[in-house]
Structure formats: C-alpha cells, structure tokens
Chains A and B, each alone.
Chain A
Amino acid sequence: MEIKIPELSLVVLIGASGSGKSSFAKKHFKETEVLSSDYCRALVSDDENNQKATDDAFDVLNYIAAKRLKNGLLTVIDATNVQKASRNSLVALARKFHCLPVAIVLDLPESVCAERNKNRTDRNLGNHVIRNQRLDLKRSVKKLKLEGFRHIFHFKSEEEINALSNINRDKLYTNKKEETGPFDIIGDVHGCYDELVLLLQKLDYQLDQVEYDNKQFGIQVTPPAGRKAIFLGDLVDRGPASPQVLKLAMSMVNTDSALCVPGNHDVKLYKYLIGKKVQIKHGLQETIEQLATETDEFKREVKEFIYNLRSHYVLDGGKLVVAHAGLIEEMQGRGSGAVRSFCLYGETTGEIDEFGLPVRYNWAKEYRGAAKVIYGHTPVPEAEWFNRTIDIDTGCVFGGKLTALRYPEEELVAIDAKEVYCEPVRPLHVNPLKENSELSSQQLYDDLLNIEDVTGKRIVQTRLRNNITIREENSIAALEVMSRFAINPKWLMYLPPTMSPCGTSTLPDYLEYPEQALNYYRKRGVKNVICEEKHMGSRAVLVVCKDEETALKCFGIEGEGIGICYTRTGRNFFNDAELEKAFLERVSYCLSETGFWKEHNTDWVCLDTELMPWSAKAQALIKDQYASVGAAATVVLPAVNKALEAAKNRGIKDIDAVMQKFTGKEGMMAKYVKAYRQYCWPVKTLLDFKLAPFHILATEGAVYTDKNHLWHMETIAKICQGDPDLFTATPYKLVDFDAEDSVKEAINWWEELTAKGGEGMVVKPLDFITYGKEGILQPAVKCRGKEYLRIIYGPDYDLPENIERLKNRGLSRKRSMAIREFALGVESLERFVKKEPLRRIHESVFGVLALESEVVDPRL
C-alpha cells in the first residue's frame, strides 16, 4: 500500500507510547525531517525520559519545526500527540507557515503497546499511562478533520502499518518550477474579448475557428513556438463578452497553451453558478446576462474550469510568481486558505478612499523576495516595476488598455480599449498604489535605503563570480564612509575595482616591467591584449545626463544638476559646486555635439575616467607627504654631504661607503621631486583639467562589458574629438601574442612613455570580461614606470639593497580583491540598467567599498 502527502506538510504522528512512532518515522522519512520529543528532552536535560524537561523540550521542538517550515521543508513530529491541545498548537504552526497539517494515527491495541514498553530497558511506563493515552486517542480520532488536518491516515493494526510500503510526496499544485517559459502574461481581461484577440495576435498567437467541442469551444489558439500565455484572472464581469473570453481561455488551458490563475470575479461567478448566495454587483450582472444564452453544459464546464484553478503558480525554477492580486514571499508556493485569499483579494488597510473604495495595502512596498511577481487586480494607469513586482492590470474594461508582459524579455505589449465599457468609480489616471509624483513608485521608494541591506556579514550574488562575501568588519567601515561622505546613492551605480600590478620583474633594476604584465595574460591563453597609457590623475566616475529632466526620469533625482563626478570611494570629486556644474555641462554638451546620445539611444552615460591633474584632488596628500619629503631632503642632503666632505678632507678613514651612499641619495631625491612635479599643475579654470575616459560603462538599458576595449577606445576617441581642450584620448597599443613584433613594440612603447615621465601602462585582455582555466581573469594589470615608482616606494627604492627586499611582494590578496570588486562593479551596473530596486544596486556598490577596507599593501 502507498499513501500520498503534500511535499510540504507538517506530519503529526499520533499514537500511544509503544505504538511504534519512531520506527515508523525512521522507515518513511529522512532522519533530519523527524523531530522527536524524546530527543529534544535529551537535548535539554541529558535524559530522554525526563518528564520535567517536557516544556523546555517542546520549546526546542517547536522552534526547530518553525525554522524548517519557514524554509519550506517537510517536518515530522514524533510525539504522542494524543491530546487535542498539543495538536492544536501544531496545526497553528502549520497554518502560520501556510503548509498543510497531516495526521498519521498509529492506533494499535493496548496490549501491543504495553508489551513493547515492557521490553524497553530505558523506560517503563505503567500500563495505566498507556491506557490513558489510548483513551485520549480514541476520543480524538474523529475530530481530527475538524481540528484542521487536511489528510488523515488511520492505521489500526501492525499488519496495516507493515503493509504500507511507501509514502509518496505530491508536488504542490502551485509548483510549476519546471515550466521555464517564455511566457506572455496577460492582465485582467474582464470580458474584453476583442482587445484580447488583438493582443494575442500582436503577440503572434494564431487564432482559428474549429468545430465546437468541450475542449476548444470552437476556437483554437496556437502560440508562437515554445511560448505559453498566462491569464492573471478576472476573465469575466463588467465587459461585453465574458463567455467568449472564457471559451478562449478555457480552450488555451485545455490545449496546454496557457495557464490561468483565478481572480476574485471568477471565483464569485463560480459561487453564483453553484448556487451560493452572492451579491449581483460589480459587473456580475452583465456576465449572468451574457451566460443566459449559453448551454447548461457550457456552464458546467465553466464551473469545473474555475474550480480547478490554482491560487497562483511558481514558475521558472522559482524565479517567477504569478497571482491575480500578487503574493508575498512567505506565501509563495504554499497552500492555505490565507494564501488563496491573498491571491484573490490582496491586502486592504481597512480604510475607504475618497471614491468609496477600500484602500489597498501595497504589499509590494515591502517585497524583497527573489522571485519576480506579476499580478493584476488593481487597475493602474501604467504598468511599472516596483521591487521586482509589476501590476499589469491597466484597466481595459474602464477604457484603459489590455497589457501583456513578455517574460523573460520583460517587454510590455498593450492594446488600447476600444471603448469605456464600464465607468470606473475611481478615475483611471489615479494610481491607488502610488503617491502623486513625477517619480516612479520604485524611485519614490528608493528615496530611502534600509540599513538591513548593508550591515553585518553579507553575501552578494554576482553574475560573474557567484557569491561574494562581505565580512562584517568591512561593512562596518564602509557604512561610516558611505554615510558620511558618499554622494546621493541614486547616482552611485558603480565603484571602480582596485587594480593589481604585474608580477615583479626579474630584471635587476626594475620592480615592474612589461614582460610580466603581458605574460599574465599570455600564460593564461589570452591571444590579444591592449596596452593603454596609464594617466596619473585621480580616478573619477562620471554620470552625465542630457538634461535635468533625464536626471529626474532615469535617476529619480531632483535639483542636483545634470550629473555627478565622484571618486573611487563615492565622494563628490569637486568641492566647488559652480565648477562642477560647468564641468558636467561641458561634458554633456560635447556628448550632444558628437552625437553620442543618438548613436547609443540614450539620455545619460556612465564613464570610467581619469581626471588630471593629480594635484587637483590629491593636493593635501601631495603637500603633506610628497612635497614635504622633497623639501626636507633637498635642504638636508647638501648639508650632510658637506659635513661628510669636510670630515673626509680631515683624513677620516672608513667614510667612503657612507659618502657614496649619501651622494647617491641627493641624485635620487632630485629625480623624486621631478617625478611628482610632473603630475601637478595649478587648477584655476575648467580648462586646467584634463579628462581621460577609458571605459563607457553604461547607458540606458546597456552595460558595455560585452564590447571589447578597442571599441571603448575608438568610441571614446570620437567623443574626445568633440572637445580636445578638455578631453584627452588615451594612447594604446594592441598586442597579438602570435606576433612577437607587437610584443616588442609594446615593451618599447612602455620604455618611451616612462622615460618621458609617464606613470606607465595598463594591460587588459582585449575582451572586457575574459575567462581562463582558473575562472575570471584580472580585468587589467598595471605596469608602472621606474621613476613613477619612486613616489610610491620612496625616493631611494632602487638602491640595490632596497629593491632586492622590495621585490619580495605578494600579489595574491590584491588580485583576489581586484576580481571580487570587478564582479561587484559589473553587477551593480547590470542591476542598474535593469532598473532593479536601488537596494540591489547599493548592495553591490557598498560591497566594493567594504572590500576596499580589507588590509592590503597600498603600494601595490
């Protein structure tokens, strides 16, 4: 014999001591699925039979059961459960987590139980105990259904128990995770047959008349290859042709070309059809009249159709949920009266609005689930995404339009209503789910981030590198910096990753040399790389809009100008607001003039750039550290050498080595001063700045990590031509590892650049994102010039005794950081262009900042 239980249920074993519950559980369930009261007694008191520990034991048991059910796991309670009170609390627990309580009664004769008890060495209950338990059980059995158990299995003998070979687990009806689509999800139709037909045709569904039967009702719908429609319910009422709509939908469902979830109107029609008393209001009257001419047979079909509709569906591996009125995360894929009610009616606040309609509680405001939820029920003027949910009921029957969402494309397709079939009580342009504002619901909501999304240990899922862990101490540091110094988070769609230097050179005089930079990629099977000159300024990320209107529309930012220029830690680059405004306007103007907006079909862009001079942003650092060292050394070294000279002239011995060293230092110091000076010039006006963009990161709907670096360089060169006074195109060299000449050329080029005082170069694989055997490769490695390194490692770093020791440097941590930050950076951009909730973008950006607080040698 086999029995069936739902895959997510709370199985309550009921039986007296000695009835074999534990053996039963062991036979039919996984060890971790079974929670035994005896075991819990032992956990809290070291004694399975300690009755004094019962209360504590059940606390533990309930706690674990709650966690399991929350996580969607079947759970078996192995306790006597013969009393109503103990069962009641278990039924309540099942209800709380919207899963089904199942009772399995092991109703064995007293003699069997007593016999088994006698044989136990560890416990010997008196026979009266078992007798009482059996009495309780007898009283209970008939009432189990009333107590709320949905499935009850009653075993009356050992034979029956032994005959049970298997307990099958039924998938929940709502679970259609294996259906991955693609789908065309259609909002509330309300009897608008003509619009539905047009919409299906627009979506490339083919409609044909066929002979009438009880499967297709005279209409056959053929979806485009592989696609399937989903009706979000409320097929009927108010509109002119509810029966036709039903026929079409039923035909599609019957032929497996559509899924359908019920709406409140559909359910009310069902109640009417089965003869329950319902109020003939809100458009039901029309439906009844239209059905009057239909056959009884058809009405029976309708009854059956609606009866069999499941409250909601979980689709596409759990990534998609459809329900008429939406569904909160805790209820997804669960079955209970509460779940069904939520799916049909949503939540209301209990208040009544100015139009006399119940005020809907916008559950989507708090929605943070992983699945996207597509729903209808509440007519809105425009369908818009909000916290990964979207209401696509655009009030067709009220003269709005009938909207479909193509999934996974997330494209909206709509047909305007031919007429106003029903005068809405609330004017259609009023969105009951949203405050009156220029901003979208999402933008309004995103005005404020939630601290829970950034504090503590965090795990960020990224497309490029799966899970990235942010440790708590790092998020602590990042929270302070983010809160105190960062710009408006709505602008902050990206923070640049750190960049690792190339491996340490084996040449005696060099710490870094191009060979190692190129070899990093060559050894990992990359064929082509690009070498870009490394500018010595400050990293700046620019977000620039065409105009302030775009800032409002695309970023939800008002009154903060047309963009922002920020540093690698998310701070405003400019301290001078006027200068910033002029700078951004000039950049925006240049983008307009060079046709960038049009060419890329966008009104904004995010650029990764270097902004020079170095001294503009790093003034304090240069003065306090670099120039100070230069000033002190320039004064003292001649004095030292003078003193040494005098002593030598006095005939002091053993002084030569020291003299030589300090004379050398004087020369190095001159080179050092020269090195930092090259990157400094005074900034008095806008044109004292030089802007060198090197990545076009994102525009409306696009992230350009799929374009190779040559594309970036060429596209940027075009922009630079529009304003050569402000923009600087970055010189680059392409290297093909199959052509040794190009390798040599790149090395020579680096020699030239650095001899002229350049910082060095950055070597990148030609493709923005490149994989090797070890996974994703460094997006770039830098190779810095000999002289530039003086300001990093100290003026006399290249003294043989120094460089020898400095060469002993480890890069692995820096490299791991660079890759993690790169993955997070790309992730945040992708989330931004997909218009995900700000918290999802902020989480990634915050992660980059947090990782930056990890300890790593800053000279790398």
Chain B
Amino acid sequence: MLLNITTTHYPATDLGYLLHKHPDRFQSVSLAVGKVHIFYPECTEEKATVSILLDIDSVDMVKKAKVKGNEGFALGHYVNDRPYVVSSIMSVALSKAFSSAMNGKCKDKPELIDQKLPIEVEIPTLPAPAGGETLIRNLFEPLGYDVEVERHQLDEKFKEWGDSKYYSVVLKNMVTVKDLLSHLYVLIPALDNDKHYFVSEDEVEKLLKRGEGWLHAHPKKDNITRRYLLNLKSLTREAFSRINEEEGNAESEDEEVNAELKKKKETLHQKRLNLVVEKLLETPAARILDLGCGEGKLIKLLMKHNQFSEIHGMDVSYRELIKAKQNLHFDELAPRLQEKLNLFQGSLTYRDQRLAGFDAAAVVEVIEHMDLNRLKAFERVLFEFAKPNVVVLTTPNKEYNAMFEGMSDDAMRHDDHRFEWTREEFKNWVEKIAENYAYSFEIFPVGDEEVNVGAPSQMVVFKNGN
C-alpha cells in the first residue's frame, strides 16, 4: 500500500528530477485496479521523501480476478490483504509511475543517473509468508542494504494466534535510483509467495531486464528467479477448492531446510518406484493397475517394460489425472502405446467393477492418506472384490521419522497423512490381510536401513493363494 523513499543527498530536491515527479504536486497514475498516488510528505534540500501510495479498488480487483479465469474464488479472497501491503502490484505501480527513472533517463539532470545516493526505503507492510526475516535479509543485504525488520503480530487481542506474515522494513543503502527501483521491482514479488495478480505474459523478459547488471551476481539468484516466476502461476482453481475446506498449511520459515527435506523425499520416492517396478518384473504380471497413480511417475517407469501389456492408472483426484496425462504426453503417444495406457478417476473406498481381473496392483504411498476407519472399505475393495494376483503396496515407516531433523514425535511426513505405521504395526496389518483374504506375503524395506529405526519406507508384496 505504501512505500516511502527518502534521500539525504544534497540537494535532496534532486529526487524530484530523478523520478520525474514534481515535489509540490499530488500526482496520480491509473493502474488496472485503481490508482497510485505520488506525493512528497517532506522535501527540503537536506531531506526529501516521496510516498508511493496504492489506492486499490478492492471491488474492481475481485471482479477482474474473476474475469481472469479464476471463477472459484474462495470466500477468503474477497477479504484480501492486497490493498494493504506492498506486493507485486507495487512493482507494477513503480514501473508505471517511474518508467523513465527505471529505464535510466533523466532529462534535466542526466549526471544524476549513475550517481549513488544515500537512500532510505520504508515499507510498513511487506509480506514475506515463506521465508520471513531471513529471506528479507538474504535478498537485500547482498546488494548492500542495511536492513531493519520488525514483524507484526496477527491480533493483539489473540496473542496465541502468533505473528502475522507482515514486516515493517527499513532499507538503507548508497545506490543509484535506477538500481533501487529495479531491486524493489524484482525482490518485492519474490518475497511474497501469494498469488500474483494482473501480470502479463512477458514476465520472464521483464525479470531479465530489471535484473540486468545485478541479478546474475546475487547469491540467491536462483531462489529469486524461481520465486518471482513461481508466483505467476495462474489463478485457476477448480471446483474442488470450493468444497474443499482448506485447513491451511503454514510453511516452515526455514526454506532451506525445507528444500533439502523435499529433495531427500524426492530421491526416496524414486528409489521406491524403482523397487516397485523391480518387484512387479519378478512376477509374470502383464496387466497392471496403479491405484493412486497421482501424476503418473510410476506409470512412466512401467511403460518402459514390454512385460506390462496394459497399465491402468486410477486416482481420486481429477487434477492429478490431468497432470498425469500431460506428463505422460498421452495425446502424442503412438496408438499402440495409447491403447496400453488407461487413466481413470476412481476411489479406493467404493467397490468398483473396473478393478477386477488384473494381474497386479501397485498401491504406492496411498493407504496412509485414508482414515483408519475407512481402511476396512479399501481392504474389501482391493482384496475381496478386485482380487489382483499380486499386490505391491508401500507406506512410510514411522520409526524412521526420528532420522528427520526437526520433526516432532507426533508429526507426520505429510499434512494429509492420517496415520503412519511402525514396522510392527505394518506387519500386523499385512498378516491380517494375508489371513483374511488368502494371500501370501513378503515384506521389504524401501531405502537404506538405519540401526533401530529401519528404512524410510516399507513394502509388502502380496500374492494370491497361500
């Protein structure tokens, strides 16, 4: 909403020339969703401050967001922080209001263009939801800014709600105005991982242009690029979000640790999938069912083997299936491969004729996403009615959680996990299934085993008949 730029350069009134904005006038520039006002609360030869004030039309903004293909605007978004913070809209405003300055033009005093000035930037509300103070510092300090940060609580009446994602930030530096504006233009949206409204398609080029001369040397350049562009993801949400009461998942502020954990999980998943394929190849199975196929990672691996004549992927999430279809380039596949592959929506808690008669079913990291009291339905659907000859099933080993640093005892590896089993609990369940439905079984660890806690994940291979 508000961003103040102050300089103590002498004469400070030069700021007016640099920005092409007369210090004694109240000036407004139209934006897509309101206006930006530019005015000077202070302007003497010793010190000048320019205020950039966003005057966002919230009603209009909501309407435009809807038009932009986001029909499923959840209620929360109508009460929106955008008008009160400094976000990507501020970047757009800066480039609109100060286009000459940003492009390094100054008609009246060209000598000022490359001159570094003592600058202080004050941003009362800067959102940094995933990254917090560390990220703010990591982004600005390498560029020479002296950074002061103060975080605000959510509601003084409800202290137990904790802090908000908003920071009051003061940045001090000796910097040219052109660089200053470029830094702000790129780094503000990079900090805010909320949806980025009203962006145009040439955003990549804009980033390259504004980052010219400094971004390539910035130690966090990858991070900045990724975040800046990530936030451009379209606002499309599906019908799902309207009925899915989101419970919200606060992301860890320590992004670095998160990223590493994520990477670890990725490699583990790859290992797991390879093992599933290996186990399936050890059987004569030709017609395979991938239950909970997600975006089709396992299917991709299975497609490489001629042994598997048919691969049927089922998932309860239609969006995942669309992703899978894209990832597998379904529409471009040769007709014979296309015939081999079948993706469909289904649910593991409903009896389903389509699941009958398969040689093998893979159920990879699926059951832990079901409530324990619904597991019984799944067992009957798979083992009593679908009855594949072979079932390869994996689920996390809870004991291994001790190896993940910073994970509390009762925490689970994923927000949506309803339970995680120890090796003992898993074995008990497997034995019960084997007995009730006349399957034989073998249990395998997935990933490297550690003393006392076992492997990160566990697998069972069931075979029909004792």
Contact = CB atoms under 8 A, between A and B. Distances in A.
Q: What are the 6 A-B residue pairs with the smallest beta carbon separation, nearest first?
A: A620-B248, A646-B41, A625-B76, A483-B347, A451-B350, A853-B239
Nearest to B74: A858
A853 B242 contact: yes
Interface in A542-570: 559-560, 567, 569
Contacts of A620: 246-248
A474 B81 CA distance: 31
A368 B116 CA distance: 82
26 contacts: A448-B351, A448-B381, A451-B347, A451-B350, A451-B353, A477-B240, A477-B318, A623-B154, A623-B161, A625-B80, A627-B155, A629-B80, A631-B166, A633-B84, A635-B124, A636-B125, A644-B51, A647-B26, A652-B40, A653-B25, A654-B25, A792-B79, A793-B79, A794-B80, A797-B59, A859-B75
B350 A652 contact: no
B55 interface: yes
Interface in A623-660: 623-633, 635-637, 639-640, 642-647, 650-655, 658
B242 A855 contact: yes
Interface string B149-162: 00011110110110
A330 B176 CA distance: 85
B248 A652 contact: no
A386 B245 CA distance: 36
B439 interface: no
Contact of A855 (B58, B239, B316): B239
B79 A636 contact: no
B347 A643 contact: no
Contacts of B353: 451-452
Contact of A853 (B51, B155, B164, B240): B240
Contacts of A632: 1, 81, 84-85, 125, 127, 152, 164, 166
A702 B465 CA distance: 48
Given A477-B240, A632-B164, A858-B75, A640 B351 contact: no
Contacts of B376: 447
Contacts of A3: none
B369 to A, nearest CB: 7
B435 interface: no
Interface in B294-340: 316-318
Nearest to A637: B84
A414 B238 CA distance: 56
Given A478-B243, A626-B79, A636 B124 contact: yes
Interface of B: 1-2, 4, 24-26, 37, 39-43, 49, 51, 53, 55, 58-59, 71-81, 84-85, 124-125, 127, 152-155, 157-158, 160-161, 164-166, 168, 238-240, 242-248, 316-318, 345-354, 369, 373-374, 376-377, 380-381, 385, 416
Contacts of B158: 627, 677, 680, 682
Contacts of B73: 858
Contact of A802 (B37, B59, B125): B59
B355 to A, nearest CB: 9
Given A454-B350, A627-B161, A488 B373 contact: yes
Contacts of A644: 39, 41, 51, 53
A44 interface: no
Contacts of B157: 677
A449 interface: yes
A796 B376 CA distance: 51
B243 A455 contact: no
B124 A477 contact: no
A451 B39 contact: no
A406 B255 CA distance: 70
A853 B347 contact: no
Nearest to B167: A635
Given A476-B318, A796-B58, A569 B153 contact: no
Contacts of B39: 643-644, 647, 652, 655
Contacts of A627: 154-155, 158, 161, 164
Interface residues of A, number: 79
A620 B42 CA distance: 41
A633 B75 CA distance: 19
B242 A858 contact: yes
Contacts of B51: 643-644, 647
Contacts of A629: 79-81, 84
A632 B49 CA distance: 22
A55 interface: no
A288 to B, nearest CB: 47
A646 B42 contact: yes
A544 to B, nearest CB: 18
Given A449-B351, A643-B49, A792-B79, 6 more contacts: A477-B243, A480-B317, A569-B244, A650-B40, A855-B72, A858-B73
Given A479-B347, A653-B26, A794 B164 contact: no
A480 B350 contact: no
A644 B247 CA distance: 39
A849 interface: yes
B41 A650 contact: yes
Counting chain A CB atoms within 10 Å of each CB, the highest count among B53, B153, B239 belongs to B239
